[in-house]
Chains A and B, each alone.
Chain A
């Protein structure tokens, strides 16, 4: 079998005396979508920041296997190497598209930015990628010169996704990517994400409090409470046969499908 992409062992982060997350271990393989579910304050976002290298752990390790098959420890990389990795191999889709987009730059500029950061200078080619990616996320390429503020929330979210995927990352972190959207827009985005993830073979760590979203998008699920993982399994196992008291409470209170 092929090798893992991400290996997480004993990952722990304290904020002073308070636990952000504690003793989280798991592996992620290429093409796998892992959902992290739990209520607010359960440690989901802390974990996501640790995994994406935006926050340093108190203990434990996040290792990432690069395109040459070398294992890199995220904490041991130099700042410059970590940033390069974040621009090439990793992506982050924020809940609020305003956190992930440059609102004063055109849609095309938003998509092209990561390409330019990687050294591409050919204007026509960057614009070509912009047009191509607008189409792939179902945005009208004719609006490439408009600013994101002229777009609806759902369109902004799709632009943010294009901006991340343009450099063909291998691992994308998504923080509640659909929760700020209307239900109908949400369904369309879910369908788009599902299609992109499977056609690009992306690995995804998805933070969500919406169990229905997790069921649709994620192969596996980790349930967190109070900073710790209380249950893991295939998404359908965790949702149809929850074993931990907290998961049972969560499933019986939220899921209506």
Chain B
């Protein structure tokens, strides 16, 4: 039995909305999950069942109310619910990739550099980083004439592919994917499925939300069913 890449125990998240009379919203609770290297787990459940909130809690973007999320990092386990901010950033930079549904980036930076910066942050030289970023964008059918432009004016599908390029340009040991194929056409969907399968093959642990049954069937090894808490 290998050590899990992600190990989640009794995880719960409740939002308390102080500006709206202290309303409590339970996003999910009692979640247990182990994900091994090379394995892909699909989060499954109706809208509002807390799938995205769970993914964000694994990334430590949301701060869970209870439980633990232990991520394998440099051969050690880091509990993302209690780690120092700078440790969380180090885990994100080197071990944990996250492809969100929406692209949120700095105005004025070209999409080529947005992808390349994931490599330069790891010490790769600028020329090599841009070269590899270009190949990644080409694979995702982003035409070269767009590479020097900031993605603010891009279509939803193009922005999503920039996000995917940023998540897959490095070989993150763990990948979190929030509906990575939602606004893609058939050809690009096939490319992204191939990229997910390649990531699994090199040993990446993947947790994702896939609305498309066909995509989910091709990439996921098992599903974690989430239901809206009472």
Contact = CB atoms under 8 A, between A and B. Distances in A.
Interface of A: 29, 32, 187-188, 190-191, 194, 198, 216, 219-220, 233-234, 236-237, 240-241, 243-245, 248-249, 252, 257
A59 B16 CA distance: 35
A245 B60 contact: no
B63 A252 contact: no
Contacts of B109: 191
A240 B108 CA distance: 23
Nearest to B109: A191
A237 B60 contact: yes
9 contacts: A187-B106, A187-B107, A190-B107, A191-B108, A198-B121, A216-B106, A233-B85, A234-B60, A248-B17
B60 A249 contact: no
> Interface residue tally of chain B, by bracket?
20 to 34
Which of A188, A191, A241, A252 has the most chain B CB atoms inside 10 A of its CB? A241
Given A234-B88, A240-B56, A243-B16, A191 B61 contact: no
Contacts of A237: 60-63
A153 B113 CA distance: 28
B145 interface: no
A243 B63 contact: yes
B16 to A, nearest CB: 7
Interface string B6-20: 000000000111110
Given A29-B86, A220-B85, A245 B18 contact: yes
Given A237-B61, A241-B62, A249 B85 contact: no
A219 B89 contact: yes
